[in-house]
């Protein structure tokens, strides 16, 4: 894997490829989103199958334009039954890649994303759990209520426990909401660690070439366990794995 160097300054080639990919992404939304909106009457599986092709297309573009690919370790840990996915959140990259790695899924996200013209409207068709992050306990109640519904309908539920993107080498506060859903539902938690932020930093247009390393951990059992215990297990596995796969402690974000 090509490591991300310390205190990097992108060269002309990296900048040009990053700009080209950014243009590709914008155009792909403008073209794909109106088509996605036409799927509103289809069942969820068909709707998801079509709309998620946008993620496949952009991952392809990342590889061929920016030289950014990925490898997955631990696929054997993906259970046959749907589950909750607790993933590290470093960039926009994982929101694309998780769609290719796991079966049909919904995401817990901030409701403001649904207000973005075209993109947000298409996203709403994928039945996300859109919460007001300032709502406190009410947000947790909504997460549990809608999360139980999605899980019982066979969906996987993607949760970023830190709630926001965290720079490589950093650690955010893990929030309890997803673990409460795990406690109430009894569905397993699948922890995911990755180093995408080393190649696609938060609030950065630069896309560094290389290979994102994704590691899927063994499912964490939840039946008969408390939320705090579940969250501690997930956080411990994710952060210890992050320490092993992060290539530098100080990366431009």
Query: pLDDT (tens digit, 9 = 90+) per residue, 110-163?
Result: 999 999 999 999 999 999 999 987 878 899 999 999 999 999 999 999 999 999
Q: Which two tokens stand for residue 187?
A: 């569905």
CA dihedral 28, 31, 34, 37 (to 10 degrees): -40
Q: How far is it, in rounded angstroms, from Cα 72 to Cα 209?
A: 17
Task: Tell me how long the chain is.
Answer: 253
Mean pLDDT, to the nearest integer, of 192-221?
A: 95
Mean pLDDT of the chain: 93
Q: Which two tokens stand for residue 154?
A: 């066979």
Q: Which two tokens stand for residue 68?
A: 């950014």
Task: Please write the tens of the pLDDT for every residue from 62-85.
Answer: 999 999 999 999 999 999 999 999
Looking at the predicted structure, is the pLDDT value of residue 9 above 90? no
Q: How far is it, in rounded angstroms, from Cα 146 to Cα 171?
A: 28
Task: Please write the tens of the pLDDT for every residue from 26-72.
Answer: 999 999 999 999 999 999 999 999 999 999 999 999 999 999 999 99
| Domain residue limits, the chain | 12-245
Looking at the predicted structure, is the pLDDT value of residue 25 above 50? yes
Q: How far is it, in rounded angstroms, from Cα 76 to Cα 190?
A: 11
Nearest Cα neighbor of 199 from 55, 57, 18 is 18
Mean pLDDT, to the nearest integer, of 6-12?
A: 78
Residue with structure tokens 């092993």?
Answer: 244
Domain 12-245: CATH class, spelled out: alpha beta
Sign of CA dihedral 87, 91, 97, 99: positive
pLDDT at position 7 is 61
Looking at the predicted structure, is the pLDDT value of residue 253 above 80? no
pLDDT at position 135 is 78
Query: DSSP per residue over the chain, as a string?
Result: -PPPPTT----HHHHHHHHHHHHHHHHHHHHHHHHHHTTTTS-HHHHHHHHTHHHHHHHHHIIIII-EEEEEE-GGGS-SS--EEEE---SSHHHHHHHHHSSSEEEEEEGGGGGSTTHHHHHHTT--EEE-TTSTHHHHHHHHHHHHHHHHTT-EEEE-TTSS---TT--PPPPSHHHHHHHHH---EEEEEE-GGGTB-TT---B--EEEEEEEPPPBP-TT--HHHHHHHHHHHHHHHHHHH---S----
């Amino acid at each position: 894997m090509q490591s991300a160097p310390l205190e990097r300054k992108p060269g002309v080639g990296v900048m040009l490829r990053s700009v080209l990919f950014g243009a590709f992404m914008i155009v792909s939304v403008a073209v794909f989103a109106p088509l996605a909106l036409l799927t509103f009457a289809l069942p969820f599986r068909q709707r998801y199958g079509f709309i998620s092709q946008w993620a496949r297309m952009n991952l392809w573009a990342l590889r061929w334009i920016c030289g950014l690919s990925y490898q997955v370790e631990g696929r054997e840990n993906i259970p046959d039954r749907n589950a909750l996915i607790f993933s590290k959140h470093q960039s926009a990259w994982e929101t694309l890649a998780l769609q290719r790695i796991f079966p049909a899924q919904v995401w817990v996200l901030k409701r403001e994303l649904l207000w973005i013209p075209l993109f947000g409207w298409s996203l709403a068709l994928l039945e996300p759990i859109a919460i007001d992050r300032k709502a406190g306990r009410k947000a947790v109640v909504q997460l549990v209520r809608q999360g139980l519904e999605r899980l019982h309908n066979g969906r996987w539920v993607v949760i970023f426990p830190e709630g926001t993107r965290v720079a490589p080498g950093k650690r955010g506060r893990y929030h309890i909401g997803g673990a409460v859903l795990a406690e109430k539902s009894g569905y397993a938690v699948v922890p995911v660690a990755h180093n995408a932020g080393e190649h696609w930093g938060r609030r950065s247009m630069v896309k560094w070439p290389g290979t994102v390393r994704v590691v899927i951990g063994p499912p964490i059992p939840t039946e008969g366990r408390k939320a705090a215990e579940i969250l501690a297990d997930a956080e411990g596995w994710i952060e210890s794995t992050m320490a092993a796969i992060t290539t530098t402690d100080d990366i431009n974000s």
